[in-house]
Amino acid sequence: MSRKYVYAFGGGKADGTAEMRNLLGGKGANIAEMSNLGIPVPAGFTITTEMCTVYSKLNRQYPPELDIQIREAMADVEKIMGARFGDQENPLLVSVRSGARVSMPGMMDTVLNIGLNEQTVKGLIANSGNERFCWDSYRRFVQMYGDVVLGLKPESKEEEAPFEVALTEKKKARGVELDSDLTADDLKELVDEFKALIRQGKGVEFPEDPWKQLWGSIEAVFGSWNGARAIKYRQLNRIPDDWGTAVNVQAMVYGNMGEGSGTGVAFTRDPATGQKIFYGEYLLNAQGEDVVSGIRTPQPVNKDTQSSPDQETLEEKMPEAYKILEDIYLKLESHYREMQDIEFTIQQGKLWMLQTRLGKRTAAAAVKIAVDMVNEGLIDKKTAVSRVEPAQLDQLLHPTFDPKAEKTVIAKGLPASPGAASGRVVFHSDDAEEWAAKGEKIILVRIETSPEDIGGMNEAQGILTAFGGMTSHAAVVARGMGKCCIAGCGALEINYKDKLFKVNNLTVKEGDWVSLDGSAGELMLGQVPTVVPDLSGDFTQIMEWADEIRKIGVRTNADTPHDSQVAVNFGAEGIGLTRTEHMFFEGDRIKAMREMILADDIEGRKRALTKLLPYQRDDFYGIFKVMDGRPVTIRLLDPPLHEFLPHEEKNQAEMAREMGVSVEKIKAKVGSLHELNPMLGHRGCRLGTTYPEISEMQARAIFEAACELKKKENIESHPEVMVPLVGTVGEFTDQKAVIDKAAEAVFSEYGFKIDYMVGTMIEIPRACIVADKIAETAEFFSFGTNDLTQMGFGYSRDDAGKFLHEYVVKGILPEDPFHVLDQEGIGELVQMGIQRGRSTRADLKVGICGEHGGEPQSVEFCHRVGMNYVSCSPYRVPVARLAAAHAVIKEQGKAELKDV
């Protein structure tokens, strides 16, 4: 018996269900589910994701059984829809659409109106009685087939597509502005002109055989899985390449059969704010791509989404169809218990549902919808937490425009995706990528965006379009990315050739600064100052639920009282890394530090260190006070000494004058400190071993600060002194002896003791191997995964950027290991260090303080291997808290599956 590759749906039944997402793709699974629910769905069938894999393995060929299964499924569609595919008198027309297991909006190809040719168009005219609609459908089909299947595209980014050029010339010749103003004869002429363009541009004839059209379209959609924009989207969203896409073949229904027909896209809740309103747009006498393409600005489906009272809503225009649509959206949201993104078509008054899927939303909307659905009894707290992606929270933590700042508003559009963004104007996606690679903040300005713009949209701070609505491609993709977006800013006159736009007698050129307020839809000249966002309400609630679920602690990396306070406000439970070297660069401190470096003997170094001690003590006092009894891990001096000295002659001369020494002495010291590989040189515990007086001063400052705070304000401190770059037991015990001696001296002076711990930063592979021996005296480990990754891979993190991108693109590495922890290699070293350390000291406290501490996948790994906490930058603390909760939920889900 041959394998089943085709699953039918329609007529109130389906072969598949919503649970078959991996096999049928999200679109196919949800269409099947709608059909099973009795919702009106045009009949069709889904070719599975497995076939996409088979197709690739067979070198773009199909197994013979696929043709048999497709023809059998098409016969069922013909029965349900009452028409026949390829029949000249009563033709059935179909669409071919992609459908991956996760939504990839606009990233793959679609072909509509398949089955039209010179004969079937006559049958369609006879049946519909609408000649203009039929030739318009045929014109659209030839244009789409020529573009998607045959690959007739513009030669450069500045040029319009050949079909669009011909369409524009036809409208000019007829003296009309809109496509809908063209007559049936005009459209019939365009069909012939489009076919001629294909013949001239591709050297092939447009296929008249409906079955050839169908197979060509299926092949194009399967092939689009490996198209540039789909690959880019998968890279950005970490979607595996081997998942493949399904292909959905579905009977056509038409929204462009006159004023009694239309098409639309809607969300069961506001995807920008999460507000519980039915939110959508529609167009009369149009097909689906007209709504999302941005070519025409659509109208709101109801009064709740009106931006002005003169807009005509679907609710007013077609009240009966709207009422059915309203009942269906409520049914779908209740069934899925999740916000849905739906597509519908009204053909001569009859409503058809084309798709339902999980709605893309902003972080603010995700949080509000999750909390509201718990309060409505639709979902539980754990589900609510799982529905807010940790990486999304970055959107909420970014600053917003200062309401008190002066603003020069030059235009208004639709508030398509909230947020505040300032950047320099660019007009093309590849330019956006180039400018961003140079460190520029940019705003991508387009007449309307298309899926080809995905790379530039990802790099942009914000997106601005002249055309399009709230459900256009720009709006939907921007919301999914968390990018600020203004769509439908009709006042813009964009000139791609000259790289400028005009608005209200003002000209803005490429490189000029503008600001976008995506919440208000305002376009402003120049850069507008920002303020830190106020987070409360639903955000606080979702974080409280996350804290109830997570098991691993979350600390912060903070070097100042201000950063410490920000982190505490975000829910940090302590400090996992205070970098003491940053404190030496401020004001007079750098002079004392340089005096210590220039000293010729230990006495000279001690005199300079005596000047530094009060500064260090005050810094630690401020941090301890803010942390109010929470643990604080302080790393002793880590970088090599040459980093504190100037290397340019001008700066060396200035330092010589300030220090009262000769320039030659400065140059000589810089020369003596020079190292061929400073990251592996005289730094960390090696400095402390060579110059124990540095470690002694820092330890004394830590303990004096803790004692002073206890004495003056009765606030407890829990310092954890961390020795960096340990690779041998002897290095650690040498430094621990210095630290303990300083503690005893300070406690003796104050007459009381402070609880403290001494541990080490595990960042050298050898330390992982001998962790059991180090743990005999070390009370805690903190994994410094930045250096551990550098030494484990043998990559210089300062230089690896030159090749790591290429490694990821070619699949040599799945991710940049400095961004996402390499669990296969570096993760094994971490696990070895934990296991060996705890074999000696069962209660060994273990954390991570590299950049990975706030990265969701890495946080999940830290939970899985049994760390006590992760530590990250202050603004990543909420991300880590939520990621830690997700790790528990995922682990519980796997356990439940195992039990089953």
In 3-state terms, what secondary structure has residue 515?
A: strand
- ∠401-407-413 over CA atoms, to 5°? 80
Return the closest-CA partner of residue 869 out of 566, 577, 567: 577
Q: Is 852 a catalytic residue?
A: no
CA distance 816 to 824: 13
Query: Is pLDDT of 897 > 60?
Result: no
Question: What is the DSSP code string of 454-487?
Answer: HHHHHH-SEEEESS--TTSHHHHHHHHHT-EEEE
Query: Is pLDDT of 832 > 90?
Result: yes
> What's the full length of the chain, in residues?
900
pLDDT in tens, 182-207: 999 999 999 999 999 999 999 999 99
AA identity, residue 602:
I
In 3-state terms, what secondary structure has residue 343?
A: strand
* Mean pLDDT to the nearest integer, 555-562: 92
Catalytic member of 707, 849, 862, 872: 849
pLDDT in tens, 28-47: 999 999 999 999 999 999 99
AA identity, residue 339:
M
Q: Is 428 a catalytic residue?
A: no
**Placement of tokens 């947020």 in the chain:** 419
Query: Is pLDDT of 233 > 80?
Result: yes
Is residue 594 within a helix (H) or strand (E), and if so which, with residue range?
Answer: helix 589-598
In this structure, what token pair is assigned to residue 289?
């791509």
Return the closest-CA partner of residue 593 out of 630, 528, 646: 646
> What distance separates the 2 farthest-apart alpha carbons in the chain?
104
Spatial CB neighbours of 188, under 8 Å, sequence gap ≥ 6? 135
Give pLDDT, residue 292: 65
More confident residue, 893 or 687: 687
Catalytic member of 473, 642, 852, 863: 473
pLDDT in tens, 268-314: 999 988 999 999 999 988 876 677 666 677 899 998 887 778 889 99
CA distance 112 to 263: 14
Spatial CB neighbours of 672, under 8 Å, sequence gap ≥ 6? none
Q: Model confidence at 900, in pLDDT bands (50, 70, 90)?
A: very low
Question: What is the DSSP code string of 364-399?
Answer: HHHHHHHHHHHHTTSS-HHHHHHTS-GGGGHHHHS-
Distances in Å between the Cα of 522 and the Cα atoms of 107, 308, 421 are 28, 16, 11
**pTM, two decimal places:** 0.80
More confident residue, 703 or 241: 703
Whether the CB-CB separation of 535 and 393 falls below 8 Å is answered with no
Whether the CB-CB separation of 474 and 485 falls below 8 Å is answered with yes
pLDDT in tens, 745-773: 999 999 999 999 999 999 999 999 999 99
Whether the CB-CB separation of 205 and 199 falls below 8 Å is answered with yes
In 3-state terms, what secondary structure has residue 344?
A: strand
CA distance 759 to 774: 9
CB pairs under 8 A, 24+ apart, for 389-392?
389/856, 390/856, 390/859, 390/879, 390/880, 390/882, 390/883, 390/886, 391/856, 391/879, 392/362, 392/363, 392/366, 392/482
